[in-house]
C-alpha cells in the first residue's frame, strides 16, 4: 500500500509539472504574438495638456511713466574770480572744498596796499579838481565885472563924442576935440573886445574844470571799486567746490578761485527721445509740468526725491538726439550736484487699457487667450506702452478674457491647457520675509553704523525693519552691501 501511495503521488506531481510547463509555454506564445501584433498596429495618439498661468484682462485708467537717466545739478552756481591780481592775505575759515558759507560772508582778501594808494591819489586829484573849479568860477566872475566896466566906459566915451560933435555944429567947438573923443571911443571899444575874449576864456576854463572834476570823481569811484574788489564775498549761502587757493598765493586778474553752489536749489537734467517728448506735450503743444521721481542707489537703499518738469533746452544739442529736459526738485536730501540718477516721469493718463506682464505678447502682436474647452486661441492687440516688465494693451474683445502669462514655444492656437489662476495672482505679490531677532538686530546695526547714509533715509529703513515682515529685496541689498 505504501508503495502504491508513493507511486500515485509521483504520477500526480509529474502531471502537475507537465501542466505547468504547458501553461507557461502558452503564456510565452501569447506574449510573443501580442508584441508582434502591436508592432504592426499604428500607435494611438494621446493629447498633451499644459499647465499655464492665466490672468483676467481688466481695462483701467493707467498713468504711464517713462524712465531716463539724468544728472543732478544746481540751479544757482557762482564762479568766484579775482577781479584784480594780488597776493592772498586772508581766507575764510570754511574756504575749502565742501565748506559751507553764509550770504555776504568774506571769503578771500587780497593785499589792498596798491589799491589803497590808488584810492588816495584819486582823492588828491579830486581835491585839485575842486580847487580848479572854484578858481575858474572866481575868474569868470571877474571877467564878467571887467566886461561890464568896459561897456560902461564905451557908453561914457560915446556921450563925450556926442557933446563935442554938438559943439562943433554950433561953431563953438574944435575939430581936434572931436577927433580926440573919437579916438577915446575907439580905445573903449577895443577894451570891451578884450574883456569879451577874457570872459570867453574864463567860461572855457570853467568847462574844463567841470570836466576835470567829473574825471576825478570817476577815477575815485573806480579806485573805490578796485579796493572793494580786493575782497571776495559770498553772493548767497551755499557750498564751495573746486577750491584751488591757499593763503599767500599770488593770483592774477580774472583767475578762478572756487565755485559756490547752492545745495538747496537742485534740478535734474535728463534726455528723452523725440517720441517720448511728444507724449509730454499738451493739446497746445506746450510742455506739461509732469511730476518726476528721482532715485539714486546708495548704501543698500534708494535716495528718492520728487519734483516737476520746469523747462526744456532751447536746442537739441550738437551731435545729440532727442530732447534735453530739466526738472526742479522739491526736497532732495542726500543728493549732490553731479549725481547720476534714474528719472521716472509721469505721463498723461491713458483710459481703457489693460496692464499685463510683457511675457504675454509675442513678436506678431498677439496674445493667447483661454477659449472654450480650456483651449488657446490667438487675439490681436495693440501695444500702447511698455512699462518695465509690463505692457499696456488695447484690443477688441480683450476685456474680461483670461490671458496666458509666461508663454512658451510649446503653446499655440488650439492647444489644450490647465489654467493656474491662483499662481498668476500670487506672482504679483512682492516677497516678504519674517526675520529672527538676531538677524533683525544685525541689519539695524548696519543701518545705524553707516556714516554716508542721510538721516532721513536711516529713519525710513529703520521703520521698515521694525515691521513684522520686511521686503526680501531690502534685506538682500543690505546684506550684499555688508558682505561687499
State the pLDDT at residue 267: 92
Tell me the C-alpha distance between 92 and 87, whole Å: 15
Tell me the C-alpha distance between 343 and 259, whole Å: 27
Residues 6+ apart with CB under 8 A from 81: 254, 255, 256, 257
| Closest to 416 (Cα-Cα) out of 367, 359, 372, 362 | 372
Q: In this predicted structure, which of 34-43, 121-130, 313-322 has the lowest mean pLDDT?
A: 34-43
Confidence of residue 423 (pLDDT cuts 50, 70, 90): very low
Residue 20 lies in a domain: no
How many other C-beta atoms lie within 10 A of the C-beta of residue 353?
Answer: 21
Q: What is the CATH number of the domain that holds 356?
A: 2.40.420
Same domain, 136 and 185: yes
Pair 378, 327: CB distance under 8 Å: no
**154, pLDDT greater than 80:** no
Same domain, 197 and 255: no
| Closest to 112 (Cα-Cα) out of 85, 92, 94, 79 | 85
Residue 34 lies in a domain: no
Tell me the C-alpha distance between 101 and 32, whole Å: 101
Q: What percent of the chain has pLDDT over 70?
A: 90
Q: What is the mean pLDDT of residues 358-365?
A: 85
* DSSP H or E run through 162: helix 113-170
Confidence of residue 1 (pLDDT cuts 50, 70, 90): low
What is the number of structural domains in the chain? 5
State the pLDDT at residue 425: 45
Q: What is the CATH number of the domain that holds 342?
A: 2.40.30
| Closest to 84 (Cα-Cα) out of 245, 250, 255, 253 | 253
Q: Rounded mean pLDDT of the chain?
A: 81
pLDDT tens column, 217-261: 898 888 888 888 888 888 888 888 888 877 888 888 888 888 888
Q: What is the mean pLDDT of residues 450-464?
A: 70
| Closest to 233 (Cα-Cα) out of 332, 83, 103 | 103
Last residue of a domain, one of 346, 380, 399: 346
State the pLDDT at residue 424: 40
Same domain, 202 and 306: no
**126, pLDDT greater than 60:** yes
Tell me the C-alpha distance between 10 and 385, whole Å: 92
Tell me the C-alpha distance between 168 and 165, whole Å: 5
Residue 55 lies in a domain: no
Confidence of residue 299 (pLDDT cuts 50, 70, 90): low
Same domain, 308 and 388: no
Across 27-36, 184-193, 252-261, 463-472, the highest mean pLDDT is recorded for 252-261
Same domain, 176 and 207: yes
Residues 6+ apart with CB under 8 A from 477: 300, 301
Same domain, 284 and 374: no
Confidence of residue 309 (pLDDT cuts 50, 70, 90): very high
**326, pLDDT greater than 90:** yes
Tell me the C-alpha distance between 100 and 239, whole Å: 5
Whole-structure pTM value: 0.59
Last residue of a domain, one of 427, 445, 472: 427
Boundaries of domain holding 414: 350-427
Same domain, 271 and 334: yes
Same domain, 145 and 218: yes
Confidence of residue 271 (pLDDT cuts 50, 70, 90): very high
Confidence of residue 41 (pLDDT cuts 50, 70, 90): low
| Closest to 130 (Cα-Cα) out of 223, 228, 220 | 220
Sign of CA dihedral 421, 425, 431, 432: negative
Same domain, 269 and 368: no
Amino acid at each position: 500500500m505504501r508503495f502504491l501511495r508513493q507511486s500515485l503521488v509521483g504520477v500526480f506531481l509529474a502531471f502537475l509539472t507537465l501542466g505547468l510547463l504547458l501553461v507557461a509555454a502558452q503564456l510565452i506564445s501569447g506574449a510573443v504574438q501580442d508584441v508582434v501584433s502591436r508592432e504592426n498596429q499604428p500607435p494611438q495618439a494621446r493629447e498633451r495638456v499644459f499647465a499655464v498661468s492665466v490672468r483676467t484682462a481688466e481695462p483701467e485708467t493707467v498713468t504711464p511713466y517713462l524712465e531716463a537717466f539724468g544728472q543732478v545739478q544746481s540751479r544757482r552756481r557762482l564762479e568766484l574770480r579775482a577781479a584784480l591780481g594780488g597776493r592772498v592775505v586772508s581766507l575764510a575759515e570754511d574756504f575749502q572744498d565742501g565748506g559751507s558759507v553764509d550770504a555776504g560772508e568774506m571769503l578771500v582778501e587780497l593785499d589792498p596796499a596798491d589799491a589803497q594808494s590808488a584810492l588816495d591819489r584819486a582823492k588828491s586829484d579830486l581835491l585839485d579838481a575842486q580847487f580848479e573849479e572854484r578858481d575858474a568860477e572866481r575868474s569868470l566872475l571877474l571877467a564878467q565885472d571887467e566886461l561890464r566896466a568896459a561897456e560902461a566906459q564905451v557908453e561914457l566915451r560915446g556921450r563925450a563924442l556926442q557933446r563935442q560933435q554938438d559943439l562943433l555944429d554950433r561953431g563953438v567947438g574944435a575939430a581936434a576935440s572931436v577927433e580926440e573923443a573919437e579916438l577915446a571911443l575907439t580905445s573903449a571899444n577895443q577894451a570891451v573886445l578884450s574883456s569879451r575874449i577874457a570872459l570867453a576864456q574864463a567860461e572855457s576854463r570853467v568847462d574844463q574844470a567841470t570836466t576835470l572834476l567829473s574825471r576825478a570823481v570817476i577815477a575815485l569811484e573806480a579806485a573805490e571799486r578796485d579796493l572793494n574788489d580786493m575782497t571776495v564775498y559770498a553772493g548767497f549761502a551755499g557750498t564751495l567746490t573746486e577750491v584751488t587757493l591757499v593763503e599767500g598765493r599770488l593770483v592774477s586778474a580774472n583767475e578762478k578761485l572756487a565755485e559756490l553752489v547752492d545745495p538747496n536749489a537742485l534740478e535734474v537734467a535728463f534726455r528723452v527721445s523725440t517720441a517720448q517728448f511728444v507724449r509730454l506735450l499738451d493739446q497746445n503743444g506746450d510742455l506739461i509740468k509732469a511730476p518726476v521721481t528721482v532715485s539714486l542707489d546708495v548704501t543698500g537703499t534708494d535716495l528718492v526725491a520728487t519734483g516737476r518738469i520746469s523747462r526744456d533746452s532751447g536746442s537739441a544739442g550738437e551731435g545729440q538726439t532727442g530732447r534735453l529736459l530739466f526738472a526742479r526738485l522739491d526736497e532732495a536730501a542726500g543728493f549732490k550736484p553731479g549725481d547720476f540718477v534714474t528719472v521716472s516721469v509721469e505721463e498723461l493718463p491713458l483710459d481703457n487699457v489693460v496692464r499685463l506682464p510683457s511675457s504675454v505678447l509675442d513678436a506678431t502682436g498677439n496674445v493667447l487667450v483661454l477659449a472654450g474647452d480650456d483651449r488657446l486661441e490667438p487675439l490681436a492687440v495693440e501695444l500702447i506702452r511698455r512699462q518695465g516688465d509690463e505692457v499696456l494693451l488695447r484690443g477688441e474683445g480683450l476685456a474680461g478674457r483670461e490671458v496666458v502669462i509666461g508663454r512658451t514655444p510649446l503653446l499655440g492656437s488650439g492647444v489644450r491647457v490647465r489654467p493656474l489662476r491662483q499662481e498668476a495672482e500670487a506672482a504679483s505679490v512682492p516677497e516678504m520675509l519674517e526675520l529672527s531677532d538676531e538677524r533683525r538686530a544685525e541689519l539695524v546695526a548696519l543701518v545705524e553704523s553707516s556714516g554716508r547714509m542721510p538721516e532721513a533715509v536711516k529713519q525710513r529703513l529703520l521703520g521698515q525693519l521694525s515691521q513684522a515682515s520686511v521686503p526680501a529685496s531690502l534685506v538682500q541689498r543690505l546684506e550684499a552691501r555688508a558682505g561687499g
